[in-house]
Structure 1
């Protein structure tokens, strides 16, 4: 047991010794490695000290080289605008006719882009280039403007408007090819002008040129229509009332509408949307000024002939207001300037309604004599003709009367605004418009009849003549109402007519009332037996006459004698009157209804007074009835 244990200890001891020996070797190796590291570090330091200056010099050289490259690039950039200017200048100064429109516009676009780029850079050295490019761009833009003007001028020869109006043809638009060229030119000119002025501009040169050339084309085309509007206003008969449609203003308005609608399409084709309104209004301005001038001249003419030509004012208002509404619907423009051109004529039209009412009164009051046969005065026909004529202008009159207000025509001046812009509603002749006109017409007729009545009382000495005179004038009024568009409008005025008819009949019948008194007798019921009366056919005239005393017989004879004289005088006067057909028929019926029963009764009772000799009883019942029938 002891021997094996000693052998194990000896083996372990040998291993320890080997381990210790290896450790010693490791220490020696570690010392060698440490020495090698120290030598390597020393060598690296020496290398760093030697290479450091060389590396620094290399970095500086790289920086210098980079700076030189940048300087060269900057020089190139500075030189580039000058080089580009030289290239574009040769093209632009040559002009579009030599180099072609496409190449010219391309060069202009490059110049515009170059100028835009230079403005964004802040290099002082670019200021000279900017100035030179600006000058070059102005030259190029001016050349494009000249081409724009030439293209426009080719299609700006005036046309004959009546050819297109009468055949209902659209006015000629710009040819498609020309419009396309104009659009391209305008686009590039707008861009160039924006760059030159840096956005500080209101209107491009091409827009001004367009408005000038096309505006002159429209004005010249319409000039003959403007002249025709004035020439057709001239009167051949001083007191002739204007007849609708005889003035050329309607054709003038048609020409304006056709030209403006076509021009609006041209503008939409050539210009950008934000320019449409401005360019279109500028283009139409010259012709609108001419139109306003024509309306002013027509207004002066109307004022000088107000009583006969106020109807022309009503027609102009209707035509021009409709024109403004139609143009607004088709172009969205021109409503205000066209409405403003009507201002003076609207004022004249409103004044005319007041003056016409005053003239109705003055026409009758100024009469120094009246027809002694009871004939109606011409003033009645003239006033009614006016009212009949007015019914042709209800749309415009409705608008004017609404501006005056119900009854406003009775004032000395029109205080309502005359500059209001017309609307579709203002030309809608509905119940209100008809009602206003009916009120105006009623006031006119009342004024006429009141003054006719007053003048007749002043001049005519007898009531029958006054009655015939008033009845005749009322008949003329009635007839002219029935035979015109006044009838539905004045349906509510019949009450006044009935009043004047009854009044005239009463005045005429006054004389017959006096004559009828001779046909009345007195019967005394307290003097014996009452004379037989009974029915007409049962009266015994001979017995009745026999029962009378001589004094009563003489009284009956005198009644017949006086009646005959008065009756014949009334018949003669009746026939001397100049009566309208319906007046004569009506008054004859009134006389027959009143006189026949009275004379029949009197004749039945007393015709035997002269025993059929006809000395006192000149008319049998049949003769009397025939005489009365002859009054018609």
Structure 2
């Protein structure tokens, strides 16, 4: 069909063939034949031919897998008993699945072919087969030619083999002689190089003499260290060779160093390790210079302000570290040990002392300003301690870098910090003694601050520093224990002060205002709560209630604070107990002092002012947390009691306004006898005298609390004014005297104005 120019089979597969007219009506068989062949081609394009081998016992199973368009062709395999070969048609779209199923059913040698029943295709295949046969014939001819050439080449190679055997027998003796000569030449070269190396070492003295004796350049020490290394290598090499010619050179090395006496040749060889001593001395001197230059005192306030750690200049640190490491590593090789301990201690101890000196001086301000109000964190000594421990920690890091020898490092670090540590502890002892001598409690809060901060942060740093220094005596902890003893002692002392022992001879205030002992006690208690954490620890160390039974002589000079209580309520409870005991003691002290006033009213005013001040302070935020309701109620009750006592002092005055109304014959008695008139005059006179005396005295009394003053005067007026009003209303219309103004000096409003002038010094 292709030869006839018809469409491709692929096109036909997608076309609908319609027979329009038979060109040969007389021969319908040809048309049917063509149509049948076209149908066969179309049908065959959807199928492939699948050939496989299978055991006969599985034949029925696999035949069901490949039913095909026609029944499969089955033939027996002679080479395998019980096996058959099967050829079946399978649709192209199912071939993948069918192959998997066949393999699962035991089929082998599965081969798939495309199908074609086109004669043109078979003709083309036959033509291609003819071409392939011709190619094979040509290749066979060439192969025969190559076989002949190969046979000739084998003969030639055999001839070459024989010739090479003869050549080897001739050249082998020559080769062995050449190897011996080559080895001899190599030995000569190595010997020449070794001799040249020895000559170089022998000449090294003359080359390096001037450079070594001059000393290192401070700006660039590396060339000097390299020269030292070259000399060290030369000495080790010459010593290892033990050549007689080396003795003279070693003598020259020792001589130019200028530090070793010339010796006999036999002794010089034993002392060759002294060769580098001069160079090492130069390096030691350079180390001192660099360390001194890098140890200029610095301003400690800078890194305290920036919360930084003091460090050495990176340039100096790098140079000193490299230099010390080189010297340390060279000690065992040279046999000369350089001990930097003493210069390190001398230089760095002065640096630490001078750097910390401003802090030390600032911490003494407490002695120059006794009694000043201390603010948390303002302690110069606290900053001094913080600065010192940071510098000690930095010094530990520096010693680790500059002193590679562990023994030298320990001794150097310990010696460097000791003078500064001694001065720190000495200053702390001076401050502690100053606080104990001061007799006031303003400075004790500085100790609370120091103890609090030391326990929070500084102690851990000091412990680390002292462990590094391996110090057996802990001077810092002894100082803290002395501070702790003073702090514990202060609670016992303050309770004594609340008893009034310290200022028992102090003059009482003339106006009954709040006593200094009361205001001072409350201020002290409020400030205690600012450091409640450390106060709890101190009181727990003292023991609950022991502040009342312990004497000052019973407190040791050194006292270690107890650990915080495991019970979280123990600390606040002991603080409340101490405050309660102090206030109870203060009440007793104030009550005793009030009895020193000649006027009972002034004593009542004195207690009223003090108890009211205490009650208000206990309700303030600063003390309310430590004062429970019972304590507040207790002082409120004391205030009410003193108000009642004060009103009782008005009794002599108010009694004059009390009288008896007489009734005669069922009617009020309106006529007065001489005795009645005289009695009324006496009552007015006595009232005026008592009131005026109280007015003159009590208008100068003090009652700073306006609310309390109004409450007290309101109570007075509620009793006095109604009685006085009734009294004058009753008698001013009676003819008890010819001169009423002499006895009735004040009306009700005037009396009230005068009462309002009580406790007003400016009235």
Shorter chain as normaliser: what TM range? 0.5 to 0.7
Partner deviation per Cα, 1:537-582 (whole Å, 9 max, x = no partner): xxxxxx7454999877876665455444433433333224233344
Change (3 A) 1:95 1:593: farther
Pairing 1:97–2:97 present: no
Give the paired residue count: 516
2:387 to 255, 265, 269: 255
Deviation at 1:312, TM superposition (A): 3.9
CA contact (8 A) 2:612 2:635 kept: no
Deviation at 1:246, TM superposition (A): 6.4
CA distance in 2, matches of 1:146, 1:246: 44
Deviation at 1:464, TM superposition (A): 1.4
Alignment of 1:446-595 (within 5 A): 446-457=584-595, 459-477=596-614, 485-490=622-627, 493-521=631-659, 544-546=668-670, 559-582=683-706, 583-595=708-720
Deviation at 1:295, TM superposition (A): 1.3
Change (3 A) 1:239 1:251: closer
CA distance in 1, matches of 2:361, 2:236: 49
CA distance in 1, matches of 2:541, 2:703: 41
Cα RMSD for the two superposed structures: 5.2
Alignment of 1:7-22 (within 5 A): none
Deviation at 1:340, TM superposition (A): 3.2
Alignment of 1:159-558 (within 5 A): 159-166=298-305, 168=306, 170=308, 173-190=311-328, 205-206=339-340, 209-230=343-364, 232-235=365-368, 248-267=380-399, 269-270=401-402, 280-307=413-440, 308-318=442-452, 320-321=454-455, 324-325=458-459, 327=461, 337-362=475-500, 366-367=504-505, 369-410=507-548, 411-413=550-552, 415=555, 418-420=558-560, 435-457=573-595, 459-477=596-614, 485-490=622-627, 493-521=631-659, 544-546=668-670
More strand by share: 2
SS of aligned partner of 2:699: helix
Change (3 A) 1:554 1:110: farther
CA contact (8 A) 1:218 1:284 kept: yes
More helix by share: 1
CA distance in 2, matches of 1:617, 1:418: 74
Query: TM-score scaled by structure 2?
Result: 0.55
Change (3 A) 1:239 1:179: closer
CA distance in 1, matches of 2:561, 2:588: 38
Deviation at 1:469, TM superposition (A): 1.8
Where structure 2 has 5 or more consecutive residues not aligned to the other structure, the ranges are 1-197, 218-222, 241-266
Provide the residue aligned with 1:151 in structure 2: 290
Change (3 A) 1:416 1:196: farther
Provide the residue aligned with 1:44 in structure 2: none
SS of aligned partner of 2:712: helix
SS of aligned partner of 2:311: coil
Provide the residue aligned with 1:66 in structure 2: none
CA contact (8 A) 1:364 1:452 kept: no
Where structure 1 has 5 or more consecutive residues not aligned to the other structure, the ranges are 1-79, 117-127, 530-542
CA distance in 2, matches of 1:402, 1:115: 74
SS of aligned partner of 1:327: helix
SS of aligned partner of 1:298: helix
Partner deviation per Cα, 1:450-499 (whole Å, 9 max, x = no partner): 22221331x22332121112223334545666778345444554234224
CA contact (8 A) 2:478 2:558 kept: no
Partner deviation per Cα, 1:185-230 (whole Å, 9 max, x = no partner): 44455556678999xx9xx934665454333322221122212322
CA distance in 2, matches of 1:404, 1:625: 56
CA contact (8 A) 2:356 2:420 kept: yes
Which of the pair has more CA radius of gyration? 2
